[in-house]
């Protein structure tokens, strides 16, 4: 008897979930729809998770990420004001450039991760779907009163990812080929004004495209018409980002994990660190800057199970096969189609965080070895 | 051949019962990447967890449909779990069980009844 489907919520087809502008297109394309962060989203299409994943790494995949929050921060001093909420150099971010960052809390934990871009007359922020209401409230409560926080609800968000993404998108507008990794630009695509960034969540080169709701379906169809492009669901999005070593909020990072523990210190520029011109000044700065100086008690690491059995979120980790007290646990895990084996991420005590260390995961009553492995599992393929 | 409502098939072969999952189940589960089989010699009763199937996205348990002893498992699945997707009713079988009471098979669905269930 098949029981206990321990995957994402499978839904029941009758839902009060919100829909993105591409909902009907997903259904027409044969997607299996599931509730995710309050939206009915495609978890996979006809190819299935494995082939979708491999297709994205080989050619190009189109993702609907319209459930994510798009927010404009408008007003004199928006960048400076935002620095009070994120440990990121926003003031120094050049126009036309994007950065990864996170909102921190008073304990140094992460209340959401985000992309922020300098789009000239405003800062454009993209946040996680599940956090967007809280993030907007947080911004409104803490940015200076004269900064306008505008939730962009009249735009969909598409991601085109994979080694063929540039060539495909350049057929609609050759200007995209001039963009480098983390550039942002306003570009006409298929007759619509799109806000394009050269970034993504797969470890591949690619673009994220904010497109007016009214033009989203036509743009998606125009991209899907290309032989190299297949629609990709949330299932493969998760396995792609896991192989890419990228954190999933609520799993690999959350309100209890600090950026130092999470290995995200590369996102905290020098100017916000001890001794920098704008050091600290964000929530939890004492904890985060303290850990930057003295180290953190635990670290997020990549883990490769030695056997073939996937080890998933929640698996406890031990330093010895017969140890009693866990030293950490897996926060994301599964099968990596490109790696052709199981891959995982999780937190371990700093003493066990060195590459090559063997730890033991408890799976169905057995202790099975995993090796601490540098992230990403698959080499990043960005256009620097 | 008999079927359970939980999408297993059971086929009698030389006084043993071969157990696998149906085409419908294999399609629903998606790409199977790992199958954990019971040890040969394990005594199981109905609803004991016998097999764990991992797809790219999720893990599922297969519970034993019969009381008895596991006498053989499909070793080929260790290196090629995708056999369950390719040929769920044939080469993708899981285990053979020496059933304590073969008449228990009568309680399960025939092919027509199973087809009616999934269609």
Domains and CATH numbers, chain A: 1-296 (3.30.1360.120), 297-384 (2.40.30.110)
**β-pair partners for B32:** B55
The answer to whether the CB atoms of B4 and A1 lie below 8 A apart is yes
The answer to whether the CB atoms of A4 and B57 lie below 8 A apart is no
Structural contact between residues B86 and B113, judged by C-beta atoms closer than 8 angstroms: no
- The one-character DSSP state at A339 is T
pTM: 0.93
**What was the pLDDT predicted at B38?**
96
pLDDT mean by block of 10 residues, chain A; 384 residues: 42 73 98 96 96 98 98 97 98 98 98 98 98 98 97 98 98 98 98 98 98 98 98 97 98 98 98 97 98 97 96 97 98 97 98 98 96 97 86
Which residues from chain A sit within 8 angstroms of residue B33, using beta carbons?
50, 308, 310, 335, 342
- pLDDT band, very low/low/confident/very high, at B107 (cuts 50, 70, 90): very high
Which residues from chain B sit within 8 angstroms of residue A333, using beta carbons?
none
**What was the pLDDT predicted at A257?**
98
**What was the pLDDT predicted at A15?**
62
Residue-wise pLDDT tens digits, B12-36: 999 999 999 999 999 989 899 999 9
Structure tokens at A300: 């997020």
Phi and psi angles of residue A336, each rounded to the nearest 5 degrees, phi first: -100, 105
Which residues from chain B sit within 8 angstroms of residue A53, using beta carbons?
56
* Closest Cβ opposite residue A48 in set B30, B34, B47: B30
CA distance A42 to A32: 6
Which residues from chain A sit within 8 angstroms of residue B25, using beta carbons?
2
CA distance A144 to A122: 14
Q: What is the CATH number of domain B2-101?
A: 2.40.50.100
The answer to whether the CB atoms of B6 and A1 lie below 8 A apart is yes
* Closest Cβ opposite residue B57 in set A49, A51, A342: A49
* Closest Cβ opposite residue A2 in set B57, B62, B81: B62
List, edge to edge, every strand of the sheet that includes B8-13: B2-3, B8-13, B16-21, B95-99, B68-73, B43-44
- pLDDT band, very low/low/confident/very high, at B57 (cuts 50, 70, 90): confident
Domain boundaries in chain B? 2-101
């Amino acid at each position: 008897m098949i029981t206990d489907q321990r995957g994402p919520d499978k839904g029941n087809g009758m839902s009060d979930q919100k829909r993105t502008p591409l909902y009907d297109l997903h259904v027409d394309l044969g997607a299996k729809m599931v509730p995710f962060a309050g939206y009915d989203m495609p978890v996979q299409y006809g190819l299935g998770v494995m082939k979708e994943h491999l297709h994205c790494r080989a050619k190009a995949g189109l993702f609907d990420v319209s459930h994510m929050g798009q927010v404009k921060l408008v007003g004199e001093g928006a960048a400076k004001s935002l620095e009070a909420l994120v440990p990121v150099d926003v003031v120094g971010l050049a126009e036309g450039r994007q950065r990864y960052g996170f909102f921190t809390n008073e304990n140094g934990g992460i209340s959401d991760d985000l992309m922020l871009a300098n789009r000239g007359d405003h800062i454009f922020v993209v946040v996680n779907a599940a956090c967007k209401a809280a993030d907007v409230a947080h911004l409104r409560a803490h940015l200076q009163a004269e900064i306008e926080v505008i939730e962009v609800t009249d735009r969909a968000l598409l991601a085109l990812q994979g080694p063929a993404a540039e060539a495909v998108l350049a057929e609609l507008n050759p200007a995209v080929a001039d963009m480098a990794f983390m550039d942002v630009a306003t570009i006409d695509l298929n007759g619509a004004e799109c806000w394009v960034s050269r970034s993504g969540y797969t470890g591949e080169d690619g673009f994220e495209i904010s497109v007016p709701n009214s033009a989203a379906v036509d743009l998606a169809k125009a991209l899907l018409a290309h032989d190299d492009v297949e629609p990709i669901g949330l299932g493969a999005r998760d396995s792609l980002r896991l192989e890419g070593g990228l954190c999933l909020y609520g799993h690999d990072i959350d309100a209890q994990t600090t950026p130092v523990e999470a290995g995200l210190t590369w996102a905290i520029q020098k100017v916000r660190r001890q001794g920098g011109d704008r050091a600290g000044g964000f929530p939890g700065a004492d904890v985060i800057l303290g850990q930057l100086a003295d180290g953190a008690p635990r670290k997020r690491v990549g883990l490769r199970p030695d056997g073939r059995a996937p080890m998933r979120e929640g698996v406890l980790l031990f330093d010895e096969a017969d140890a009693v007290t866990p030293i950490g646990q897996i926060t994301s895990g599964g099968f990596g189609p490109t790696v052709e084996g199981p891959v995982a991420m999780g937190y371990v005590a700093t003493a066990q965080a060195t590459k090559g260390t063997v730890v033991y995961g408890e799976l169905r009553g057995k202790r099975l070895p995993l090796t601490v492995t540098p992230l990403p599992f698959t080499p990043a393929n960005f256009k620097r | 051949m008999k079927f359970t409502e939980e999408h297993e098939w059971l086929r009698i072969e030389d006084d043993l019962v071969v157990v696998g999952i149906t085409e419908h189940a294999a399609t629903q589960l998606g790409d199977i990447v790992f199958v954990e089989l019971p040890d040969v010699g394990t005594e199981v009763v109905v609803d004991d967890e016998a097999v764990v199937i991992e797809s790219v996205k999720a893990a599922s348990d297969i519970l034993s449909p019969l009381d008895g002893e596991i006498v053989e498992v499909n070793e080929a699945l260790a290196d090629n779990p995708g056999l369950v997707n390719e040929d769920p009713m044939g080469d993708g079988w899981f285990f053979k069980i020496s059933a304590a009471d073969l008449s228990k098979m009568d309680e399960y669905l025939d092919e027509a009844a199973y087809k009616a269930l999934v269609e």
